[in-house]
Amino acid sequence: MRRFLVCCALLVSARRAVAQTGVANEGALELIRPIGARSLGMGLVGTASAFNTDAVWVNPALITRTGREASFDFRNQANAAEAESDVAGVLVWPFNPVGSVAVFARYINNGSQDVALGPNNQVGTFTITDLIIGASLATTFFDRLAVGFTAKQERVNFSCTGECTQLGDASARTPTANALDFGSQFFVTKDSSISVGAAVMNIGPKFQLIDSPQADPLPSRASIGVQYTPKITAVPGLDAHFAADIVTRVSSGTGLGYRAGAELSYLKRYQLRAGYIKSGPVGEDTPTIGLGLTSGKIHIDLSQMMTNLGGTGGSRPTFLTLRFDF
């Protein structure tokens, strides 16, 4: 009975992860779940263009391109297969001239699921949560080249009520994924108007959700990106950023994904963003839009996927980021 209930709970977690991504042969899929309103508003680009706390999610080298900053990220529940809550916090701290350090944490509550031994025999209820913690370190060489890496861990936790309380301490059965990210970025031109970036994310041992024979590879991804920041003289106070990324799986080398986006900023206070995701992390093809507002040291970013991924009864995934300079 105990083993049966454990398997039920963990399989529920696996089914939720598959529902979120459409990828059934990879584990720890929350590692590629989108978050970060600025990059999302620009179509999830960021390999060469994530110059704020979004960098820890897409290319750790880019934490060197931001100042001392803290952020809080939120994502709504788009449909029944989505997490009930998804929040994250990031702190970036430069140590010039050595480099920059970032620490982050993300909490995902996947909601509760019934555990039953038959159609009409519910024996308990499981609540499944994920905690992702990590730290990034990056440095620059001659100001034009930045390199960095991230070490992170995801822990899947479940608590239960009902008959399944006989399982005892749930923490003794906490599946854990350990992963490393590596990234770089280079300013091609002296005026920094053109930059290129490359990143490899989620490199690590297989994720054992139930047992060793059923362990799955991590959702490792490699990406290359470019950003162009033209000099606009016709409209004083107007800045523009154009960026594009190509993403592929590391394990199979198939399933290319494409992202493209743009940002217009006026007086460095008001931002308008738009982008397009082709074959995104959850298999989506969708336009994205975003807005940003800066007031002193406070930045507010809001973005949304324009496709209703939840189908009937679902809502469009919406992202909010609050950033603070200090």
d(CA 130, CA 117): 25
For 70, the domain range is: 2-325
d(CA 115, CA 8): 7
Please report the pLDDT score of residue 210 as a whole number.
Answer: 64
Residues whose CB is less than 8 angstroms from the CB of residue 245 and which lie 6 or more positions away in sequence, other chains included: 44, 45, 46, 47, 48, 223, 224, 225, 258, 259, 260
What CATH number has the domain bearing residue 265? 2.40.160.40
How many other C-beta atoms can be found within 10 angstroms of the C-beta atom of residue 190?
Answer: 8
Distances (CA, A) of 205 to 7, 218, 310: 21, 7, 32
Among 187, 180, 224, which residue's Cα sits nearest to residue 202?
Answer: 180
Among 23, 90, 13, 17, which residue's Cα sits nearest to residue 280?
Answer: 23
Tens-digit pLDDT profile for the chain (326 aa)?
A: 444 444 444 444 444 444 444 455 888 889 999 999 999 999 999 999 987 899 999 999 999 999 999 999 999 876 655 667 899 999 999 998 899 999 999 999 987 777 666 677 777 777 889 999 999 999 999 889 999 999 999 998 877 777 665 444 444 567 899 999 999 999 999 999 999 999 999 999 998 766 666 688 999 999 999 999 999 989 999 999 999 999 999 876 667 899 999 999 999 999 999 999 998 887 789 999 999 999 999 999 999 999 876 554 567 889 999 999 99
With residue 159 as reference, give the H or E element that holds it: strand 145-162
The pTM score is 0.87
| Helix, strand, coil distribution of the chain in percent, nearest 5 | 15, 50, 35
Identity of residue 91: L
User: How many domains does the chain contain in total?
Assistant: 1
Q: Identify the burial level of 315 via C-beta atoms within 10 angstroms of its C-beta, where 0-12 means exposed, 13-18 middle and 19 or more buried.
A: middle
Q: Identify the burial level of 1 via C-beta atoms within 10 angstroms of its C-beta, where 0-12 means exposed, 13-18 middle and 19 or more buried.
A: exposed
d(CA 147, CA 138): 6
How many other C-beta atoms can be found within 10 angstroms of the C-beta atom of residue 70?
Answer: 15
d(CA 23, CA 160): 27
Distances (CA, A) of 179 to 34, 112, 150, 176, 212: 17, 27, 8, 10, 18
d(CA 188, CA 140): 14
- Give SS3 for 166: helix
Q: Identify the burial level of 73 via C-beta atoms within 10 angstroms of its C-beta, where 0-12 means exposed, 13-18 middle and 19 or more buried.
A: buried
Among 248, 222, 277, which residue's Cα sits nearest to residue 59?
Answer: 222
